Amino acid sequence: MLVKQFHYISKQESNKILDNLKNLKHKTIILLMLDCGLRISETVTIKFKNFDFKKRTITIKSLKKRGKTKLRTIPISNRLYRVIGEYLNNEKNIKLNANNYVFPSYTSKGHIDRKTIWRLLKSLGKKLNIQNVHPHALRHSFATHHLSAGTSLAEIKEMLGHSSYNTTLIYAEIPTEKLKERVNQVTS
């Protein structure tokens, strides 16, 4: 059986991408995928009603077409919370109604297009010489960074909205450097 190769970007690479994003809308979108593990379709269609800013959480309905629809609640990181605030304070065309998209399209009714984010990441990857930068790589990075930091597989599974641990294991890799660190901790 051939195993599909999944890609993630390191914390250093993700910080490099974030440092090079001057557009607050784009930075907020990337952080939603990187810090919350959202799929691109979930990110571009997110509405204000999905946010609980007091509790600093996002409740999202999976847009994956497999099985029954599942809601999941994900904490908002401090940096994402700050960037969302900056974005909302600086964006003049946003109406803070519960059913409005957080990332509206300026060329059509509805939300920003997924292709816009694909092109943005492809361009950034090329500019910064980072391989395999695409929206789903950010979701894999979310899982990998959490696993490396000691977040339990059960917690990662819940935040990603997976029904199976096997799926979560596919998403999360432990970088070799972290494994070396852990081996040395155990054997010293």
Q: How far apart are CA 127 and CA 121, in angstroms?
A: 10
Q: What's the CA gap between 20 and 3, in Å, rounded? A: 33
Contact at 8 Å (CB) between 79 and 35?
yes
Q: Give the tokens for residue 40.
A: 């691109």
Q: What span, in angstroms and rounded, lies between the C-alpha atoms of 70 and 57?
A: 16
Give the span between the Cα atoms of 37 and 128, in whole angstroms: 22
Instruction: Provide the β-strand partners of residue 18.
Output: none
* Catalytic positions: 39, 65, 136, 139, 162, 171
